[in-house]
Chain A
Amino acid sequence: MSDQTISYPRPHAKDLSASYWEGTSRGALVLQCCSACGRFRHYAQLICSSCYTEHAEWIDASGRGTVHSWTVSHHAFHPSFGADLPYTLATVDLEEGVRALGLLKNVAPDALKIGLQLRATFPVWTDGYGRLTFVPVLSDKLEHPRMDLQG
């Protein structure tokens, strides 16, 4: 468990990103989908850059995707992450055709490779926010919960 004398940075959810963060609290990866042309977009934006339509629906994504790239951080750029080092951030190609950045757990850095199949989970941290965390599809649960996973 981390030293919680320093809080993790909280989501600065506002306007368009509010729906995304509401989704994380119920364990869902929520994406914008254009009402006119059906294109997904992530992160949320005001209009569809393909057909310029403003109206979009919020869809629960499958949460499935594959590793696109990653970094394993060994330095605490924010002091709250000091006890969590090292941790892995990954860019993940989602089934819906968009890419997301999330934490990646249950994979040894040496075993990481492009194309590894993942699924999204949303462990809730002590500040009450779920954080997008990918695990290999075959992982049952978080083997090494970090970052003040509750419970």
Chain B
Amino acid sequence: MTLRAKGAVTGIGETRYTRASPKNAFALQIEASLLAIRDAGLDPKDIDGIIPIGLTGAPAEAFTTNFGIPDLRFSAVTPMGGASGIAAIQTAIAVIDAGICNHVLIPSGRNVSSGARAGVRIHQMPQFHLITEYEYPLGAISPAQLYAPMARRHMELYGTTSLQLAEIAVTIRAHALMTDNAIMKKPMTIENHQASRMITDPFRLFDCSLESDGGAAVVISSSRQARDMAAHPVDILGIAEGHPDSPSAITHRPDITTLGIAKAAPIAFHMAGVSHSDIDVAEIYDCFTWVVLCQLEDMGFCKKGEGGSFVEGGRLTLGGQLPTNTHGGLLSQAHMLGMNHIIELVRQLRGRADAQVLGAKIGLCTGYGDMGDGAIAIMQRG
């Protein structure tokens, strides 16, 4: 039994991404959800499953009420930080394949100017109570300070350099410049990256993702039903989530340079029945530059320790061997918890992206969150 080609993304919706939206997070989620439902050729009352993403706290009930959904059959949460969106798709396909639902809405939205800033909210998250109890009082306040030792260890063991991290930031910025709905519009050079201020070594400012406002949503339907729906369907060939050995704190893990996606990727590739060379485009969760490099290794695009040289020479650019984060990612488009990566992949496979990979047929997107959770989806043009 497998979830291969059982589900499809039938609708995508995004608000404008900004740094100060007048709308609150729930209003942004509703706006994006209505766009996604319309894109799928559905009416809101057709939605019979809801898996809300993110920390804003709007439960499925709030959507059910506003949409007047008469018969919601399923709701759940997939609390994996930035991996939640893809984990939610996996859950959605499973309940669709089980005959519980027809159309599952996965909404997300955030307004960091009115809510907690992503960079300093660890102590508000119950899954990190150990970090809060032991590490927060020492000055370990932000996720950046916990991801940085992962990157530092990688650099010490394998010789990875800040210039290699710069390649990732510069490439992704260049893609944001080609994308209409992207926040960062100033070109970036390697020198700009190296001159940006040190935040927490080895992460400079331009190694860190944005704090953004906006909403993003997708609708998942069965691949069979998708054939009859309005938008051009995109089939999900392989999907999996993976968790780190201990999710509670980085100090618990035998190896901090390997993330949960190392467990998920072989499952997803096997399910999809495709190989790495089949991947035309990759939208890789990029809360920090190094996290992209590490995931490339963990997914098997190169060996552990070789991510630094892999990203050199323009391999990740549009026109390169593995065009990556063609929308600008969390680093330069917007931080939408990776929902924007899912949406960009669908757009690429529909052939409708701003920075389109010509002829893109198969691609992948990843999510990463909560200090090491990972998720991956491999999709194909329907």
Contact = CB atoms under 8 A, between A and B. Distances in A.
Interface of A: 8-14, 17, 20, 42-43, 68-75, 77-78, 81, 84, 86-87, 89-91, 98-103, 109, 113-114, 129, 131-132, 147
Contacts of A86: 198
Interface stretch (B1-9, B138-146, B216-224, B353-361): B138-146
Contacts of B136: 9, 12
- Determine chain B's interface SS by DSSP, over half rule: helix
Contact of A11 (B120, B133, B140, B249): B133
B120 A9 contact: no
Contacts of A78: 120, 139, 141
A78 B145 CA distance: 12
A83 to B, nearest CB: 12
Given A69-B156, A72-B201, A74-B198, A42 B139 contact: no
A114 B251 contact: no
A89 B149 contact: yes
Nearest to B142: A77
Contacts of B200: 71-75
A100 B132 CA distance: 14
Given A78-B120, A84-B139, A89-B145, A114 B133 contact: no
A80 B253 CA distance: 29
B315 interface: no
A123 to B, nearest CB: 11
Interface residues of B, number: 38
Interface of B: 119-120, 123, 129-130, 132-142, 144-145, 148-150, 152-153, 156-157, 197-203, 248-252, 256
B201 A102 contact: no
A116 B249 CA distance: 22
Given A10-B137, A147-B139, 7 more contacts: A8-B139, A17-B130, A43-B249, A78-B139, A89-B149, A114-B153, A131-B137
Closest 4 CB pairs of A and B: A71-B148, A77-B141, A69-B149, A69-B153
A100 B251 contact: yes
Contact of A101 (B123, B138, B202, B203): B138
Given A71-B152, A89-B139, A101 B134 contact: yes
B139 A81 contact: yes
A121 to B, nearest CB: 13
Contacts of B256: 69, 91
Residue with the highest number of chain B CB atoms closer than 10 Å, among A75, A78, A90: A75
A101 B141 contact: no
B132 A69 contact: no
